[in-house]
């Protein structure tokens, strides 16, 4: 009783999590692939309007909102409350996918039929997913439970951990995942992670945890893997499904479909729900090719708007052309640049920063001091990762720039708004989640 968010998840129609599923390689892989489908359809990494890219884009300074849906309006107007409709779904879906990942971990560990190579790969993938989900939960809600079991007796009385403890768990899970997974992809489309995907996410986690040397080292592991990853000079090709800058991506539900990002951001006339904000559009430097290739101006009798144009396909095509990219190579350059800058290694930090700038058609950064370089990296991340999974919001928070950036554009902004409220339903079900986040 009172633990449905961590244990009572709906089974897929194929009953993938039955006791026999992990005694067969094909059904075991199907169980893992089903989790990626759940991530695509209903996680914080989804490209749908319920995903972090959309809602945190509204919450920060990336998107303007023209709709009336309660939860989207609440994010845009800075009026999210513990009882806001849809907030609990964000929480529940995340922990549901964590439960599924834990079920895979337990299933392969207890399997007597799977070969060791398959057990290692599947366990590594599940650990990767568990870390990915917890990473987003803690960056939205702060101190949260880190769930590693499917046992309802444990989960029903779970308490919140400090963010430092959570990052330690993330590092442990991703380090193990990197050791377990193969270096080669299990598929040509990179829709199942390999060991380098774990290194890429681990580089991000180390950066957020303030472990600069480790972040730089993990990013270098990925950047040095030139057999798998290569820079794409044509910015129009970065978000195509076959891009060699892609580290991990999600495949559409059916062949011929494209991304939810394209469907939700691209518009032809007046913006139906969202457009890119003026804050974002004015942040591009003169001559920045990302503005030309990754945004698009739409003029009507009612005005001029801009939409994200990274993913360009709004509807189905003969064959799928774009997949939703969760991890890509440019982040590793900017992770390493920031880590080097924070370590005081100014010249090597500038080399990575300028690599990304040159790819966008820009000259070398004029930054000279450590502080100037860090601010330059923050600006570079703004125009590189807009509408991608909440990077902007989380970057402003990491750089302690959230209040400065949002105080002027969000009504009633307060420092405590850097965390979302724990959904009221969750506090009622499990008092061990108390206290509520400050400000709510």
- Give residue-wise pLDDT tens across range 349-388: 999 999 999 999 999 999 999 999 999 999 999 999 999 9
pLDDT at 316: 96
Would you state the structure tokens that stand for residue 61, as one six-digit string?
């300074």
Q: Are 173 and 186 in contact (CB under 8 A)?
A: no
Last residue in a domain, options 152, 181, 210: 181
Residue 202 in domain: no
Give the number of domains in the chain: 2
Last residue in a domain, options 133, 150, 181: 181
Residue 392 in domain: no
Residue 281 in domain: yes
User: What does the pLDDT average to over 3-10?
Assistant: 46
Instruction: Answer yes or no: pTM beyond 0.85.
Output: yes
Q: Are 162 and 280 members of one domain?
A: no
Specify the DSSP class assigned to residue 47: S
For the residues of 302-331, what is the DSSP string, one character each? TEEEEEE-SS---S--SS----EEEEEHHH
pLDDT classification of 249: cutoffs 50, 70, 90: very high
Residue 376 in domain: no
Tell me which residue of 437, 331, 431 sits closest to 381, measured CA to CA. 331
Print the domain residue range for 269. Answer: 260-308
Q: Are 131 and 274 members of one domain?
A: no
pLDDT at 1: 39
Q: Are 161 and 273 members of one domain?
A: no
Q: Are 272 and 174 members of one domain?
A: no
Which residue spans within 60-143 are E strands per DSSP? 63-65
Q: Are 172 and 264 members of one domain?
A: no
For the residues of 176-208, what is the DSSP string, one character each? HHHHHS-SS-SSTT--S--HHHHHHHHHHHHHH
Residue 14 pLDDT greater than 50, yes or no: no
User: What does the pLDDT average to over 69-85?
Assistant: 97
Tokens 């779904």 label which residue? 89
pLDDT at 163: 97
Q: How many C-beta atoms lie closer than 10 Å to residue 92's C-beta?
A: 19
Task: Tell me the average pLDDT of the chain.
Answer: 95
Residue 69 pLDDT greater than 80, yes or no: yes
* Ramachandran area for residue 153 (φ above 0: left; ψ -120 to 50: alpha; else beta): alpha
Q: Are 45 and 154 members of one domain?
A: yes
Residues in the chain: 440
CATH number for 175: 1.25.40.890
Q: Are 151 and 275 members of one domain?
A: no
pLDDT digits (tens, 9 = 90+) for 393-422: 999 999 999 999 999 899 999 999 999 999
pLDDT digits (tens, 9 = 90+) for 18-27: 668 999 999 9
Residue 210 in domain: no
Residue 4 pLDDT greater than 80, yes or no: no
Last residue in a domain, options 308, 341, 373: 308
Q: Are 172 and 268 members of one domain?
A: no
Q: Are 158 and 17 members of one domain?
A: yes
Tokens 């494209």 label which residue? 258
Specify the DSSP class assigned to residue 422: P
């Amino acid at each position: 009783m009172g633990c449905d968010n961590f244990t009572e998840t709906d089974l897929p129609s194929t009953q993938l999590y039955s006791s026999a599923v992990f005694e067969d390689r094909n059904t075991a892989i199907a169980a893992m692939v089903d989790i990626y489908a759940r991530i695509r359809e209903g996680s914080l990494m989804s490209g749908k309007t319920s995903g972090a890219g959309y809602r945190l884009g509204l919450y920060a300074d990336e998107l303007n909102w023209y709709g009336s849906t309660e939860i989207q309006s609440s994010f845009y107007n800075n009026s999210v409350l513990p009882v806001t409709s849809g907030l609990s779904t964000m929480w529940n879906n995340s922990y549901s996918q964590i439960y599924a990942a834990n079920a895979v971990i337990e299933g392969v560990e207890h399997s007597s039929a799977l070969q060791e190579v398959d057990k290692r790969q599947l366990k590594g993938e599940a650990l990767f997913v568990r870390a990915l989900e917890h990473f987003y939960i803690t960056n939205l809600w702060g101190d949260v439970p880190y769930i590693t079991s499917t046992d309802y007796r444990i989960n029903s009385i779970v308490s919140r951990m400090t963010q430092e403890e959570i990052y330690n768990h993330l590092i442990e899970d991703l380090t193990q995942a990197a050791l377990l997974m193969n270096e080669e992809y299990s598929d040509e489309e990179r829709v199942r992670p390999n060991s380098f995907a774990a290194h890429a996410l681990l580089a991000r986690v180390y950066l957020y945890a303030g472990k600069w040397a480790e972040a730089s080292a993990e990013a270098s592991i990925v950047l040095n893997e030139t057999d798998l990853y290569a820079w794409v000079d044509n910015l129009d090709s970065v978000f195509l499904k076959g891009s060699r800058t892609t580290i991990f991506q999600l495949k559409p539900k059916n062949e011929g479909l494209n991304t939810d990002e394209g469907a939700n951001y691209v518009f032809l006339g007046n913006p139906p729900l969202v457009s890119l904000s003026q804050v974002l559009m004015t942040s591009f430097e003169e001559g920045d090719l990302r503005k030309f290739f990754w945004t698009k101006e739409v003029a009507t009798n009612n005005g001029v708007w801009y939409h994200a144009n990274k993913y360009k396909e709004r509807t189905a095509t003969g064959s799928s052309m774009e997949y939703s990219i969760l991890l890509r190579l440019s982040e590793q350059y900017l992770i390493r640049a920031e880590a080097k800058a924070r370590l005081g290694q100014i010249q090597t930090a500038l080399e990575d920063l300028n690599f990304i700038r040159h790819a966008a058609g820009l000259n070398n950064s004029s930054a000279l001091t450590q502080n100037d370089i860090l601010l330059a990296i923050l600006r570079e991340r703004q125009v590189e990762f807009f509408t991608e999974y909440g990077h902007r919001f989380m970057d402003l928070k990491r750089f302690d720039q959230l209040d400065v950036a949002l105080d002027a554009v969000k009504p009633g902004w307060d420092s405590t708004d850097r965390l979302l409220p724990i959904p009221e339903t969750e506090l009622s079900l499990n008092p061990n989640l108390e206290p509520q986040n400050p400000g709510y």
